[in-house]
Structure formats: C-alpha cells, structure tokens
Amino acid sequence: MDAEVIEKEISDIKAKISEEKRRGKIKLELFQRLQKELNDGAAQVINWEIQIGALQKALDS
C-alpha cells in the first residue's frame, strides 16, 4: 500500500467516527428529551392523584 491509499483509509475511518459521534449525540439528546417528558408526565399524574385524593376526602366528609 502506498501512502495515498493509507491516508485515504485513515480519512475514511475518521469520517465514520465523526458520523457515529454525531449520531450518538442526536440519540442522546432525543433520549434526554424523552426522559424529561416522561418525568414531567409522571409528576403530572402524581399531582392528579393528589387532587383525586383530596376531592374524594371532601366527598367522604
């Protein structure tokens, strides 16, 4: 193999690494956004359960 071929292979591998890092970053951002939505939804459900409990208590009184 001559130097040009080796340099081309190195360049191709670096491009693949860069693309995988970019994809990984996008996936991580998506995961973090979905995790936040899930946590926010869970908090809302807990609030609703508290409200239901308070309303049920008021009905029982």
Question: How far, CA to CA in Å, does 51 sit from each of 10, 38, 61?
Answer: 61, 20, 15
31 phi/psi in degrees, rounded to 5: -60, -45
Q: How much is the pLDDT for 1? A: 77
Q: What was the pLDDT predicted at 41?
A: 98
d(CA 55, CA 6): 73
Mean pLDDT per 10-residue section of the chain, whose length is 61 residues:
94 98 99 99 98 96 89
Please provide the distance, in angstroms rounded to a whole number, between the alpha carbons at the two ends of the chain.
Answer: 87
pLDDT for residue 9: 98
Which candidate, 26, 60, 5, 18, places its Cα nearest to that of 52?
A: 60
pLDDT at 34: 99
Query: Tell me, what's the pLDDT at 12?
Result: 98
Tokens at 58, concatenated: 């008021």
